[in-house]
A and B are shown apart, each in its own frame.
Chain A
Amino acid sequence: MSETTTLGVSHDKLGMWVFLGSDCLLFGALISTYMLYKDRIGPTDLGPEEMFDIPFTSVSSFVLLMSSLTVVLAITALRRNDIRRSRIWLLSTAILGAIFVGGQVYEFTAFYREGLGYTTNLFGTAFFTLTGFHGVHVTVGIIFLMSMYIQSMRGKLTSAQEERLEIIGLYWHFVDVVWIVIFTIVYLFPQ
């Protein structure tokens, strides 16, 4: 590490940790809102139990969790200065993330066709808002990863960037952990 700091952690990494602490409260507030409104549906509306396709979402959740593994593989490969492997794992992480977001888009359209629009009832509004915010977080992570990947195409990915990738990895893990919470509370609890 080229710079020395009081805590021995780099500013960038500490900054990311601090930001993630703040982001917890963002999702905390959104999840609370969802919990408050999840049962507020009209008498003829479909509720969470009828709406959710648990096997489908389980698969896409699994895909997202696997991406946490691949990002770690990308980091360790970069640490060993194995640029080729690191690039492969980097791209796979981004693709797995994209599959998850794609699954979410598919799910949203399916719900919409079944009659749950954004403004149909409070359950729908809160559900789309919460999962939408998470989807945006995943998308931002994909942008980070792809920026790194494009850098690597220009030969700019070296083991000097290991920490930058590690910080992106922190963010990526956080987004995954949040999804575990959301999946449990939103999808599994009503079952």
Chain B
Amino acid sequence: MTIVESEETPLELESAGGQPPAEKPLGAFTRPQGGNGWKDWLFTVDHKKIGIMYGAAGLLFFVIGGIYALFMRLQLSRPGNSILSAETYNQVFTMHGVVMVFLAAIPLGAAFANYLIPLQIGARDVAFPRLNAFSFWVFLGGGLFLLSSMFIGGWWENSPDGGWFAYSPNTGVLFSPSKGIDFFAIGLQITGIASLVGAINLIVTVLNMRAPGMTLMKMPILTWMLFIVQMLLLFAMPVISVALFLLTFDRLFGANFFNVAEGADPLLWQHLFWIFGHPEVYVLILPSFGVISEIIPTFSRKPIFGYPFMVFSGIAIGFMGWGVWAHHMFASGVGPVAVAAFSVSTMFIAVPTGVKILNWLATMWGGRIRFTTPMLYATAVVAMFTIGGLSGVTHSLAAADSQQTDTYYIVAHFHYVIFGGIILGFFGGFYFWWPKIFGYFLSEKIGKSSFWVMVIGFNLTFGPMHILGLQGMSRRIQTYSSGQGFDLWNLVATIGAFMIAIATAMFIGNVIVSRKAFKAGKTPAPGPDPWDARSLEWMTASPVPEHNFDETIHVEKQDEFWHRKWGKNEEGQVVRRATAEEVAHDGSNTNVHLPSPSYWPLVAAIGLPIIGYGLIYNLLLCVLGGLFVLGGLYGWVFEPVDDPNADNHDHGDGQDSYAELETAEVTNASEDTTIE
């Protein structure tokens, strides 16, 4: 029976615990009804709305982090500048790193994961819709908590100043007496909870909610990469949690985990941080790898080259990502054996990454390439990431690395990887899925020009940093004196940084202009499948209706949607079998039973930042925050499972005309679902 079940998965969402819908255990708890306006967003449990909110929040934080960067570049634009004091500069580069890594790159990856994973595996929602909402609100609360450190207790008085890696013992009360590091530790603890909860949710979704026939090796590469990312988050987050707990206990309760005067070992922090921190690097990059693995085949009109190699190289990166953390510590005195071992493992991890680059190139090779904006971004990722990857390999040579450590060469390397690899990929993803998500095209004209401004600006910013670094310019120094050969390249980098800012503004402008043009009827509606794409998310209307798909999709092939549109004739030529409109669902099935919105994820999530402020300022606030969390969780557990109007059940199965699937097992499975 279980085997039958694993083949026949109706899209019906879980009714938690299998309780009958009408039950109202404590009477007072009713669920909010859907509707329009802000309430709909606040209490939503829809993975698409949550994905959009993740994306919007991530972009907002990206802009904020970018503003920090612009201030840094202004300060460094000429020697001996005094726009920022040394203290403020410390805070600004710390906040730039923290905001970009934890509040921009991770949530933008989470945006793609939340929106696209259920669609790509043919599911109606994630496994735990309310948990999904909870994880978003916790993330947002933690992010705002971190940023509030700028204002609380005076302007720039209590901002974190230890770098995003927060090396001990610099983060001890002795060396960082402001409350900045407390905000850092507790804020990241909170966003960590969001990542962990989201990871559990999405792992269960991918393992347990695939459409019938969608085996693991038929999943789109994006879903695969995002799945690996969730695995990495799942195992990396508790490690940084422990590190942050220890740091918090040091600062708040006088523990001595990182107090060298009491015999502590400051390397403990470095190990814990980088055991998290290096998998984290792949948490950031793999979503982008997935995004361009969807874009490149679509615009090359070829299936991805070497699908299993793409999957297994992703898995290999995920595994090996755990064995290279000490290459961040070559200059920390970890000993010759460790240095040699991590040096070798770091060289090795370049191999699966190289496999991926080769496969993207081979996918494009001989393809009929259309250089749309998403495709431009995707090719730029391949080129820029290769540069960043190669400079990364130069760090694996420990002897060279001990010269490069803490110079701008490192800054150049990881920005080529993070900006060139991740942010460019995400922008490509925005242009690619925008018509699917919002139902209108972004302007290609503005898109292409902003692409060129961004790529040129990016190379002007970070390219010269290679030279600066090799000339010996240190990171994290707020100024330099002239006559060291740093002047010209710093000015160039500053100009480049402002070009990136202009390109980002052009993107935001593009959204506004394109939306207006569409509303005025000047641009055509994209239809379900504007790019002749391959995976299941294109097999439903744009924008995606709330219930995703009208009926269960039975998957037979990898790139199922493409194979329904195209087939081979007798001569073996690829010919169109059906148009996208014929294949795709039009979203007209309004009878689908969906989980109701809920108040409680938001209530529970609000408690966490309150506890955070309480830990820093007044323990009484912790009690209040704790009440929010506990009350939220109990309300959550005891709220009625379904909304009262949920009688109109439609599982959407049994309507397909797939004769071979109309077997006794199918009836068995649907009997199962009618029992409840």
**Nearest CB of B to A164, in Å:** 6
CA of A26 to CA of B3, assembled, Å? 35
Q: Contacts A8-B2, A14-B207, A119-B254 known; A163 to B17 CB distance under 8 Å?
A: yes
Residues of chain B lying within 8 A (CB to CB) of residue A18: 199-200, 203-204, 234
Q: Contacts A3-B676, A29-B272, A122-B264 known; A11 to B242 CB distance under 8 Å?
A: no
CB–CB B238/A125 < 8 A: no
**Nearest CB of A to B3, in Å:** 8
Most buried by B among A6, A21, A29, A33: A6
CA of A8 to CA of B669, assembled, Å? 12
Choice from A33, A129, A160 contacting B19 with Cβ under 8 Å: A160
Residues of chain A lying within 8 A (CB to CB) of residue B210: 6
Q: Which candidate, B6-14, B351-359, B414-422, B537-545, is the interface stretch facing chain A? A: B6-14
CB–CB A2/B676 < 8 A: yes
Q: Considering the complex, which residues of chain B in the window 238-257 have a beta carbon less than 8 Å from any beta carbon of chain A?
A: 238-239, 241-243, 245-246, 249, 253-257
Choice from A22, A23, A122 contacting B263 with Cβ under 8 Å: A122
CA of A25 to CA of B268, assembled, Å? 16
CA of A164 to CA of B637, assembled, Å? 12
Choice from B204, B235, B262 contacting A11 with Cβ under 8 Å: B204
A44 at interface, CB cutoff 8 A: no
Q: Considering the complex, which residues of chain B in the window 399-458 have a beta carbon less than 8 Å from any beta carbon of chain A?
A: none
**Nearest CB of A to B296, in Å:** 28
Chain A, 121-153, contact with B by CB distance < 8 Å: what is the 0/1 string? 110011001000000000000000001000000
B15 at interface, CB cutoff 8 A: yes
Residues of chain B lying within 8 A (CB to CB) of residue A5: 5-6, 9, 208-209
CB–CB B15/A3 < 8 A: yes
Residues of chain A lying within 8 A (CB to CB) of residue B238: 22-23, 25-26, 29
Chain A, 99-133, contact with B by CB distance < 8 Å: what is the 0/1 string? 00000000000000000001101100110010000
CA of A19 to CA of B127, assembled, Å? 14
A30 at interface, CB cutoff 8 A: yes
CB–CB A6/B207 < 8 A: yes
B265 at interface, CB cutoff 8 A: yes
CA of A1 to CA of B16, assembled, Å? 11
CA of A40 to CA of B262, assembled, Å? 9
CB–CB B17/A21 < 8 A: no
**Nearest CB of A to B18, in Å:** 4
CA of A161 to CA of B19, assembled, Å? 9
CA of A118 to CA of B255, assembled, Å? 7
Choice from B6, B208, B263, B268 contacting A33 with Cβ under 8 Å: B268
Q: Considering the complex, which residues of chain A in the window 1-44 have a beta carbon less than 8 Å from any beta carbon of chain B?
A: 1-12, 14-15, 18-19, 21-23, 25-26, 28-30, 33, 36-37, 40
Q: Considering the complex, which residues of chain B in the window 265-283 have a beta carbon less than 8 Å from any beta carbon of chain A?
A: 265, 268, 272, 275
CA of A21 to CA of B236, assembled, Å? 11
A84 at interface, CB cutoff 8 A: no
CA of A9 to CA of B12, assembled, Å? 15
CB–CB B8/A4 < 8 A: yes
CA of A2 to CA of B651, assembled, Å? 13
Residues of chain A lying within 8 A (CB to CB) of residue B675: 2
CB–CB B17/A33 < 8 A: no
Residues of chain A lying within 8 A (CB to CB) of residue B9: 4-6
B672 at interface, CB cutoff 8 A: yes
CB–CB B235/A22 < 8 A: yes
Q: Considering the complex, which residues of chain B in the window 620-676 have a beta carbon less than 8 Å from any beta carbon of chain A?
A: 637, 669, 672-673, 675-676
Chain A, 148-191, contact with B by CB distance < 8 Å: what is the 0/1 string? 00000000100011011000000000000000000000000000
CB–CB B242/A33 < 8 A: yes
B378 at interface, CB cutoff 8 A: no
CA of A1 to CA of B4, assembled, Å? 13
CA of A16 to CA of B8, assembled, Å? 24
Choice from A11, A36, A163 contacting B208 with Cβ under 8 Å: A11
Q: Contacts A18-B234, A33-B246, A121-B262 known; A4 to B10 CB distance under 8 Å?
A: yes
B128 at interface, CB cutoff 8 A: yes
Q: Contacts A3-B14, A4-B672 known; A21 to B235 CB distance under 8 Å?
A: yes
The closest CB in chain B to the CB of A167 belongs to B17
Residues of chain A lying within 8 A (CB to CB) of residue B201: 15
**Nearest CB of A to B201, in Å:** 7
**Nearest CB of A to B634, in Å:** 8
Q: Contacts A7-B6, A33-B257, A119-B256 known; A2 to B208 CB distance under 8 Å?
A: no
Q: Contacts A3-B18, A160-B17 known; A15 to B200 CB distance under 8 Å?
A: yes
CA of A12 to CA of B130, assembled, Å? 13
**Nearest CB of A to B469, in Å:** 33
CB–CB A122/B204 < 8 A: no
CB–CB A2/B18 < 8 A: yes
CA of A25 to CA of B272, assembled, Å? 11
Residues of chain A lying within 8 A (CB to CB) of residue B8: 4
CA of A81 to CA of B440, assembled, Å? 56
Residues of chain A lying within 8 A (CB to CB) of residue B15: 2-3
Choice from B208, B235, B253 contacting A25 with Cβ under 8 Å: B235
CB–CB A12/B16 < 8 A: yes
A-B contact list, 13 entries, CB within 8 Å: A1-B672, A2-B15, A3-B14, A4-B8, A5-B208, A22-B199, A119-B253, A119-B254, A121-B262, A125-B256, A163-B17, A163-B18, A164-B17
Residues of B within 8 A of A (CB): 2-3, 5-6, 8-10, 12, 14-19, 25, 127-128, 196, 199-201, 203-204, 207-210, 234-239, 241-243, 245-246, 249, 253-257, 262-265, 268, 272, 275, 637, 669, 672-673, 675-676
Residues of A within 8 A of B (CB): 1-12, 14-15, 18-19, 21-23, 25-26, 28-30, 33, 36-37, 40, 118-119, 121-122, 125-126, 129, 147, 156, 160-161, 163-164
Which 5 pairs of residues, A with B, have the shortest CB-CB distance?
A26-B238, A8-B2, A29-B242, A2-B676, A2-B18
